[in-house]
Structure 1
Amino acid sequence: MIQTQTQTQTQTQIPIQTQAPASAVSAPLLSVRDLAVHFPVSSGGGRTATVKAVDGVSFELARGRTLAIVGESGSGKTTTALSVLRLSEPTAGAIHFDGQDLTALRGEPLRRMRRRLQLVFQDPYSSLNPRQRAGDIVRAPLDLMDIGPAAGRAARVAEMFELVGLRQDQQALYPHQFSGGQRQRLNVARALASGPDLIVCDEPVSALDIAIRAQILNLLRRIQRERGQSFLFISHDMAVVEHICDDIAVMYLGKIIERASRRAFFTRPLHPYSVALMSAVPTVRGGREAATRRVRLSGDPPSPVDPPPGCRFAGRCPAARPACSASEPPLREVAPGHGVACHFVELRDGALVAPL
């Protein structure tokens, strides 16, 4: 569900360092086209239903940039990310990574590709083996994927500890001997050890307190600036997303309903759902005034087993009209680089006009 005003007001005060994004080349590092991920589930009486967790998603990620995918719980953002990593099998669609079709890879070719695709998990503790020392945790990907000569792996681990701001003597410690922020630094070090081109960050700071969130986000931005790292960042926290992403895609019930650059989106969100998300993030100045303009949504998202016809947001949209339930709006580009799936966003007299 959309965050409450009280939760988000604190989050907007995170002191994040912002840097200019790395230059992108013309060919995207990651290209996803018409991705669908459907899961069969039992509906009782021996019948089977299908959960349409992701249902026709397309996006691109340029090298050296961060794409944030945001939305409520159940929107399909994490399933999309897991499909990119081939940890959740796509039902349909294509995933091209650096020109290679990931959906066609099996066995050893897929195993070799995994060194270029890594994941930072949400929980900085349960994602670490409590019986392994920190140095062995960071070294594990190198040993499992046979990366580099065995004699040089200790030096690679030391390099990763220095990169994420951990002391060399901490290699001998166990996860429980680290703070939450240090454990997440350890997760980042492990993800970077194999030299990946893309790191998927699944809610990497949601389990941390405010001050530690800022440290981890600053660390990720520094790594991107220094190493040209690409990130796919999954989050529901718009305050965090505003500071970490270069581009943003908003998901609702398995579909992307708005896609734009950070500047364009946070200057003027166009889809009514995006406006509702943004209205739940009051500014530090004028917070009371912003609260009076809050777009409050009623009800819960429809079931992904049986999504409604037309626009999937129509049943909760304060600007819905009969046409919304009659036909599904396509994701169309209404301004350079800014796409939105809404019938009633249009360009009028040179200016974009949105329903909210």
Structure 2
Amino acid sequence: MSLSDTALPFDDIRNLIRSLPGPDEEAIKAVQARDAQLTKPAGALGKLEDLAEWLAAWSGKPSPTVTRPLVAIFATAHGVADKGVSAFPSEVNRQMVENFAAGGAAINQICRINDIGLKVFDLAVDIPTPSITEEDALDEANCAATMAYGMEALAGGIDLICLGEMGIGNTTVAAAVLNALFGGSADEWIGRGTGVDDEGLARKRAAVEAAVARLGSEKDPLEILRRTGGREIAAMAGLIIAARLQRVPVIVDGFVTTAAAAVVYALDPDGLDHCVFSHVSAEAGHKTALAKMGKTALFDFGMRLGEGTGAALAAGIVKAAAETHTGMATFADAGVSGKEA
């Protein structure tokens, strides 16, 4: 998938949004019909049944399967990190990319135990974007190109994509994006991120306030993205759009990945129907963002690591939902008496 060279870069993105397909109704009916015959009381598997139906609806598979799941981690650097908004220095960005490659991060272990692929996308991790307190993070062409780059993460027959990210300072950036999209005060959106102290939290508040103030009355979601976002948020927003077009279900991770999803939501409130939100982050603004979009997460483990860790855990649940639906015997298959009329 590529964007054209004939119009303003964001025009291509808007055209893609207008062409988003809906759910596969025939696949939904097939899942519902089989579910009614499985060796269990109706509704006994609760959300697992809902997930099997969701998977069928957005993959277009009447018999839902997950054979090539992938966690895509988008790693980058943010100039706002120099404002003292994080407990860790920017050098950690490169160090963590190397840690992912060496198999030493938390996400490596979760992917291994759940048999999920992992790919790290280096978005100029050694070259920070300008500080959003003073300058726009990206120009339109670079923002659209980064979104297009994110779309390429689906190459290779991926059938379930999990969003992940890494970038020191990106909870500040995500808070600015969400604040600009949904309004309210900076305090409603900021949290302690990597574990900043009270002084660091005050700097974070000031950074978000300055970034949002620079926008003035700007309400265009794509302009908000390019001016206050980061490369990883742009790439993940592009990936969410591409996944819908290619019928690949998406699992959203935590606070930062939800900021990317919120950009798509602001462009089209139905644009996230192919997404499941894995968990409620310990970042206070995450719960607020989910409420603003009318979304419910699968679980709340008090996590705030990022890397796609929550999404990978949720992928294990989605895989279980698919396997129970397709692998369980029907009453007729098993010779088990069904519910009496």
State whether TM-score is above 0.5.
Answer: no
Q: Which has the higher strand share?
A: 1
Q: TM-score, normalised to structure 1's length?
A: 0.26
Q: Which has the higher helix share?
A: 2
Q: TM-score, normalised to structure 2's length?
A: 0.27
